[in-house]
């Protein structure tokens, strides 16, 4: 935690108290021969401090430690990262055309048009047609959701994700949730 606090003070010029609840290395899927260090996950005690640190980091784009560039970003679930990644190529094309855009949580595209108008799109299917006006081609993802995503979105879990012991009443609840999820999946197909 001391390393992270010193890094923030020295490299980002953030002053004032920086209350950090915890800081640790992320588990890595990197191979041993990789020279890329693992991420550090930091949990701040205060949301305002977290935002101040992120804003300072994003404003000072080239932050280096021992000649290695480091990046600051928010920590999202894998599913949120996958949804946000659908806009990656589009944002590059928009940037080439000097059109400002942002990704809002969890995965919405926000466009800042040159006339001052702001438009927000809730999913890639909605934004595809609008982007043609700007000369940006976006391959629209398939409209039919896959079963696994539908189940996860409804909060369904297997007994393996809960201590491997599932009382009978929880099992019945899981079955009902599964049936509801399957019904929603079938309706989404129509």
In a domain, 25, yes or no: yes
pLDDT average, residue stretch 23-49: 79
Tell me, what's the pLDDT at 121? Answer: 86
* Mean pLDDT over the full length of the chain: 79
Q: How far apart, in whole angstroms, are the C-alpha atoms of residue 144 and residue 11?
A: 46
Whether 6 and 61 share a structural domain: yes
pLDDT category of residue 5 using cuts at 50, 70 and 90: very high
Q: How far apart, in whole angstroms, are the C-alpha atoms of residue 18 and residue 66?
A: 23
Tell me, what's the pLDDT at 164? Answer: 43
Whether residue 83 has pLDDT greater than 60: yes
Q: Who has greater pLDDT, 173 or 42?
A: 42
Tell me, what's the pLDDT at 163? Answer: 47
pLDDT category of residue 44 using cuts at 50, 70 and 90: very high
Domain boundary among 47, 70, 93: 70
pLDDT average, residue stretch 66-70: 88
The pair phi, psi for residue 171, each rounded to 5°, is: -60, -45
Tell me, what's the pLDDT at 48? Answer: 92
Residue with tokens 């466009």: 111
pLDDT category of residue 55 using cuts at 50, 70 and 90: very high
In a domain, 112, yes or no: yes
Is residue 25 within 8 Å of residue 37, measured between CB atoms? no
Q: How far apart, in whole angstroms, are the C-alpha atoms of residue 109 and residue 186?
A: 28
Is residue 27 within 8 Å of residue 46, measured between CB atoms? no
Residue 169: domain span: 147-189
How many separate domains does the chain show?
A: 3
Whether 58 and 87 share a structural domain: no
């Amino acid at each position: 935690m001391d390393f992270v606090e010193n890094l923030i003070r020295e490299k980002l010029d953030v002053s004032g108290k920086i209350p950090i609840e915890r800081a640790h290395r992320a588990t890595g899927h990197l191979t041993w021969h990789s020279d890329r260090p693992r991420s550090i996950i930091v949990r701040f005690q205060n949301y305002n401090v977290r935002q101040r640190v992120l804003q300072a980091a994003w404003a000072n784009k080239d932050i280096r430690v021992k000649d290695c560039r480091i990046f600051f970003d928010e920590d999202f679930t894998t599913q949120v990262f996958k949804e946000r990644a659908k806009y990656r190529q589009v944002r590059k094309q928009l940037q080439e055309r000097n059109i400002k855009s942002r990704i809002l949580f969890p995965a919405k595209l926000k466009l800042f048009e040159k006339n001052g108008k702001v438009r927000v799109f809730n999913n890639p299917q909605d934004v595809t047609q609008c982007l043609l006006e700007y000369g940006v081609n976006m391959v629209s993802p398939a409209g039919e959701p896959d079963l696994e995503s539908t189940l996860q979105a409804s909060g369904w879990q297997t007994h393996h994700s809960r201590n491997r012991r599932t009382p009978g009443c929880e099992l019945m609840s899981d079955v009902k949730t599964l049936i509801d999820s399957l019904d929603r999946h079938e309706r989404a197909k129509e």
